[in-house]
Structure 1
Amino acid sequence: MTNGDSGDSTALDDPVGESLRGRHAELGRRVGRAATYLPGIATFSAVPAEANAADWADLARLLGRDAFADMFSCPATPPPDWEPVFVLEGRQMIWPADSRPAQAHPATGGTDVVELGRADVPEMLDLAARTKPGPFWPRTRDLGTYLGVRDDGRLVAMAGERLRPPGWTEISAVCTDPEARGRGHAFRLVSALVTRILAQGQRPFLHVADTNAEAIALYERLGFTSRKHVTFRGFRTP
């Protein structure tokens, strides 16, 4: 599954590793060629696609015994004593080169898009727990800018920046309270992030489960195209 995009998207083949070697280096830890994020930020870990036994041993040393290793889309196969935890089929979608963001509908009823700060983390965690947009931890907000929509003071929708491989910024944690759906909040939030990311000279990308047809349709309406199929996998260290 590719869109034939002519831009340099090779960094997206290893978005976790490229982020931890670059703009997120200070938010992670590393042993040899294995890397992972600091606790409370993300559970994503990375080893090279051609990982050997030493690389997996280094990652096990980083994570500790009986620890969760979220390998994201890394294609490397761990040793047999690493217990499989989950497998999820998905797709990676990218913003085409030289495209402009779609025009979002204007805000109604006092629901402007606002930037979320450290004081908003408890509400962000609560919203993520109720809507399950993907992994979201107490320090996930440290990965980038997060935007939200408030209705009568209550946080009802959010989206933000996550992985940052060279030249790219991932949009993630796109979620809306069930009672506030159908009002265009996700469209407005993602549009605002696309505009922000492009203004910084980066290109947006994102990941979505293959089963989430509603989200895929939304991202396609916004202008994203599918780059490739990905398989998300998690394991437990021996």
Structure 2
Amino acid sequence: MVASELDNPFWSSLCSRHRALALREGDVARYPPEFAPFLGVADGDVEVGDALAALVAPGESMLLLGIAPRRVPDGWQLEAFADLAQMTCIRPLEVIDGPEVIELSGAHRADVLALTALVYPHYFRPRTMELGRYFGIYQDGRLAAMIGERLGTGTTREASAICTHPDFNGRGYARRLTAMLTNDLLGRGHLPFLHVSHENRRALQLYEQIGYRRRRDIGFWSMRRAR
């Protein structure tokens, strides 16, 4: 079951972990726009026309991962991006020494939104933090680095929003946060996974170095309602 869940991660999460949040019409579901711009379909042969008309506002863009409809109705544009690397980790990782890691809450929301707007701007929305737990490292009164949980099912969890403020690069904060969350998830019986662009060689090398392995390349698309 884990393989099929990871092959269609938006749909799997919307049907399980985030079912209470899902806006759904038949075999099409999405996150509310204040949470994430993600839409999932049960499989590529789903007839999506009526569902898309009900779920997506004119001019709105949605992202799909793993599976996209093979046919889209008139008035819609489906654009394929470069595949992402989907990586998983099955063994505990070494946690390097470093500053205290704290769990982030609503009290830290402004700092989180400022950091993600700077270095992770396309996917983080005002209520994304409510999709799971988020953790961060503060230095000199500033949010220097963060990580969080996003997608997932009963057996899997995605590590997401792994980012460091440019003023604090090179200190190992992303490595420390990734290892700590990965070990926590493994201890809870969840398979940790993440997604990263092949163009982000620095991140790919980091994840491979600490113990993540590429499971597969996974399709990534944008769908826009043109009118």
Report the TM range for the smaller structure's normalisation: over 0.9
The structural deviation recorded for 1:231 is 2.3
AA aligned opposite 2:92: R
The structural deviation recorded for 1:86 is 6.2
| Corresponding residue of 2:224 | 236
The structural deviation recorded for 1:51 is 3.1
Secondary structure, aligned partner of 1:158: strand
Alpha-carbon distance change, 48 to 226 in structure 1, aligned in 2, over 3 angstroms: same
- From 180, 183, 186, the equivalent of 2:174 is 186
1:71 paired to 2:51: no
Distance in 1 (CA, whole Å) between partners of 2:61 and 2:27 is 18
Alpha-carbon distance change, 161 to 47 in structure 1, aligned in 2, over 3 angstroms: same
The structural deviation recorded for 1:85 is 5.5
| Corresponding residue of 1:165 | 153
The structural deviation recorded for 1:133 is 6.3
Secondary structure, aligned partner of 2:65: coil
AA aligned opposite 1:10: S
| Corresponding residue of 2:92 | 100
Alpha-carbon distance change, 164 to 39 in structure 1, aligned in 2, over 3 angstroms: same
* Contact residue 8 and residue 65 of structure 2 kept, 8 A: no
AA aligned opposite 1:165: T
1:124 paired to 2:112: yes
The structural deviation recorded for 1:80 is 4.9
1:206 paired to 2:199: no
Task: Map 1:1-238 to 2 at 5 A.
Answer: 8-53=2-47, 55-77=48-70, 78-84=72-78, 87-96=81-90, 99-101=91-93, 103-107=94-98, 111-132=99-120, 134-237=122-225, 238=227
AA aligned opposite 1:100: P
Alpha-carbon distance change, 29 to 94 in structure 1, aligned in 2, over 3 angstroms: same
Alpha-carbon distance change, 104 to 225 in structure 1, aligned in 2, over 3 angstroms: same
Secondary structure, aligned partner of 1:9: helix
Root mean square deviation of aligned Cα: 1.7
Q: Could you give the per-residue CA deviations for residues 148-192 of structure 1, whole angstroms, max 9, x where no partner exists? A: 010012101001001013410000100001110000000010111
Alpha-carbon distance change, 10 to 27 in structure 1, aligned in 2, over 3 angstroms: same
* Contact residue 18 and residue 166 of structure 1 kept, 8 A: no
Stretches of structure 1 that go unaligned for 5 or more consecutive residues are: 1-6
- Displaced runs of 4+ in structure 1, greater than 4 A? none
Distance in 2 (CA, whole Å) between partners of 1:56 and 1:13 is 23
Distance in 1 (CA, whole Å) between partners of 2:27 and 2:212 is 32
Point out the more displaced range, 131-140 or 117-126. 131-140
The structural deviation recorded for 1:63 is 1.4
Secondary structure, aligned partner of 1:201: coil
Alpha-carbon distance change, 137 to 86 in structure 1, aligned in 2, over 3 angstroms: farther
Stretches of structure 2 that go unaligned for 5 or more consecutive residues are: none
The structural deviation recorded for 1:66 is 2.4
Q: Percent of pairs identical after alignment?
A: 35
Point out the more displaced range, 82-91 or 180-189. 82-91
Distance in 1 (CA, whole Å) between partners of 2:136 and 2:122 is 16
Report the TM-score when normalising by structure 1.
Answer: 0.88
Report the TM-score when normalising by structure 2.
Answer: 0.92
* Contact residue 158 and residue 174 of structure 1 kept, 8 A: yes
Secondary structure, aligned partner of 1:24: coil
